[in-house]
Structure 1
Amino acid sequence: MIHIVIPVFNRKEFTRACLDSLNRQTNQDFKVIIVDDGSTDGTDEMLRIEYPEVDVLRGDGNLFWTAGVNLGIRHALKQGADKIMTMNNDVVVDERMIEQMYKWHAKKPEALIGALELDAENGKPIFGGERLNWISGSTQQILEIIPEPERRGLHAVTHLPGRGLFIPRAVFEKIGLFDEDRFPHYIADFDYTHTARRAGFELYVNYDAKILTYPEASGDRENRRNKSLKNYYKHLFDIKGGGNLRDFTRFTFKNCPKPYIPFYLANGYTRRLLGYLVK
């Protein structure tokens, strides 16, 4: 079965909606592992009373995304899991999502597979994967080049986000877990999938497996809405900052082909320094 690892910190209503959507899946061949990193809003009690079937692991509030996910993955691997999915708690899963992941995993048994992301407010597709150009620092949005009638099945990408990310055990056996030392929160998923791709694994977005998200609910979006010098600093240097310069620099030196590093750094720094001000 698929072991689904979900790190959480507070926001119990998001967690409840996520788990309820999983309970409505047409294929119930999965196990949920929640990593609760010190929630103080009653998440622990809710999980114990309403979802006793869920495995709950606990942190002290200092795990952040990457260490939390790794804790859940280690737990799953010890249980003999051969299929793992990482998921954020602010996700509502389409009822056929697990069914469609199994379908395409059978055809691509060693591929990492992501999901098509829809806006939970209006149901419109908002993310269908990207292909990165190291020289320009730009990403080609797959949704922009695929006509709507062809938005089905698998589409190859260069990296994948961690929300609804299917990973076969063979990947962990070859490249290990997520890099929590270099990337404690953001970019860890992109780093991991780039690493997997270099190791020979294929990456796809599965347009038949859909998840619904709340883009405006992310901490970085909130930071951008309330612009200030303090928030600008957090955007660039905080562990949860969407433009974290340290993590971006580490990501570049670890993943970018050496001849393109100066171009990618220059473009990336410019986007991060100016993007906060204009968006």
Structure 2
Amino acid sequence: MISVVIPVHNRLDYTRQCLNCLMAQTYRDFRIIVVDDGSTDGTDLMIETEFPEVVLIKGDGNLWWTEATNVGIRYAMKQTDGDGPHFVLTLNDDTIVQPDYLQSMLNAWQAHKPCLIGSVSVDSENPERLEYAGSAFELYTAGGRHLAEDYQYSYANLISKADHVESQSLPGRGTLIPMEVFAKVGLFNAEKYAHYMADIEFSIRARKAGYRLIVDAKSIVYEIVRATGIQVEKGLTFKQFINSFTSIKSPTNLTVRYNFAIEHSRTKHLYFCFDIGRICAGFLLRKIRMSRVG
């Protein structure tokens, strides 16, 4: 049984599209749990009307991604009856998947267990563009890179060279997690990572507990890139960049980055300084390149 947990907020059309994709899955032993965190655009009514089989849990608008996901996981944990392994699949609503997606994820888990299975991510408007295929990093000087670089950000290149990639972390955008993992490492940490990095931090805990983190090349999530949150690489102004350090919607939120550095890095405060320095340097370099092009 797979419990697909999807946190949503005021993205009715994306949510509908995502649910339609899941309804078309060839693998049928799954339930969908949508945690609607205070939407005001009629998302809840749409789900109740068009997808009555979906479990709908409503929040008050203060759950954000992490606690909304935890709410769905807690519900799933109470429903683990019957034989066979049980899983949670974390998924965002700004994604599209093919009918064989769930079966592909299960096949990958069977081949590599004990493990968590992550999805390859491609741009929904340009599926050849590889957005995510795993990550590599070290915990001393905040160095790291996206493994999509190894394949020139080309999905065709990836699939021609590998059927899976071993990663050092996994995002929440299409990750299959055996239910037993939560018993060993706990849920996502909503106190320290309300919206960003909770998925990365959780996967690191799982890896420390002995689970491999596998990105399956055949399990594809088509990511609606324009729908993602604040992206520091997408041409922010200086003011927007500075504001990103305090925004709960930002991956560069200083409190979140600090919490991660203290909890998981080898060098604590030094790592945090390197991390923020790397973010600032990257922003300034992009600004210089853009000014030269302009």
TM-score (norm 1): 0.92
Change (3 A) 1:161 1:149: closer
CA-to-aligned-CA distance 1:15-60 (integer Å, 9 cap, x gap): 0111111122222221100000000001011001110110000100
Q: Which residue of 2 aligns with 1:242?
A: 251
Equivalent AA in structure 1 for residue 103 of structure 2: E
Partner-residue secondary structure (3-state), 2:230: helix
Distance in structure 1 (CA, Å) of the matches to 2:161 and 2:33: 31
1:72 match:
72
Residue in 1 that maps onto 2:204: 194
Q: Residue 149 of structure 1: CA displacement?
A: 4.8
In the alignment, the residues of structure 1 paired with residue 273 and residue 105 of structure 2 have an alpha-carbon distance, to the nearest angstrom, of: 38
Shift of 1:108: 2.8
More displaced stretch, 211-220 vs 179-188? 211-220
- Inter-partner Cα distance in structure 2 for 1:222 and 1:29: 39
1:145 matched to 2:138? The reply is no
Query: Is 1:168 the counterpart of 2:141 in the alignment?
Result: no
Correspondence for 1:52 = 52
Q: Give CA deviations for 1:193-229 in whole Å, capped at 9, x if unaligned.
A: 0111111111110111001002222220399545252
- Identify the residue that residue 220 of structure 1 maps to in structure 2: 230
1:73-92 equivalences under 5 Å are 73-80=73-80, 82-92=86-96
Rounded Cα–Cα distance in structure 1 between residues aligned with 2:232 and 2:140: 31
Residues 1-279 of structure 1: pairs in structure 2 closer than 5 A: 1-80=1-80, 82-124=86-128, 125-146=130-151, 147-221=157-231, 224-225=234-235, 227=237, 229=239, 231-257=240-266, 260-279=267-286
CA distance in 2, matches of 1:17, 1:142: 29
Q: Give the total of aligned pairs.
A: 276
Tell me the secondary structure at the aligned position of residue 18 of structure 1.
helix
Which digits, 9 at most, give the CA deviation of each residue in 1:100-134, with x for residues without a partner?
A: 11111122333111000010001122211111122
Q: What is the percentage of aligned positions where both structures have the same residue?
A: 34
RMSD: 1.9
Q: Whole-Å Cα distance in 1 between the matches of residues 270 and 170 of structure 2?
A: 22
For residue 196 of structure 1, what is the amino acid of its counterpart?
Answer: A
- What letter corresponds to residue 272 of structure 2 in structure 1? L
- 8 Å Cα contact 1:152/1:206 also seen in 2: no
Change (3 A) 1:252 1:278: same
Q: Within 1, Cα distance between the matches of 2:279 and 2:247?
A: 13
Distance 2:159 2:51 in 1: 39
Q: Distance in 1 between matches of 2:164 and 2:236?
A: 38
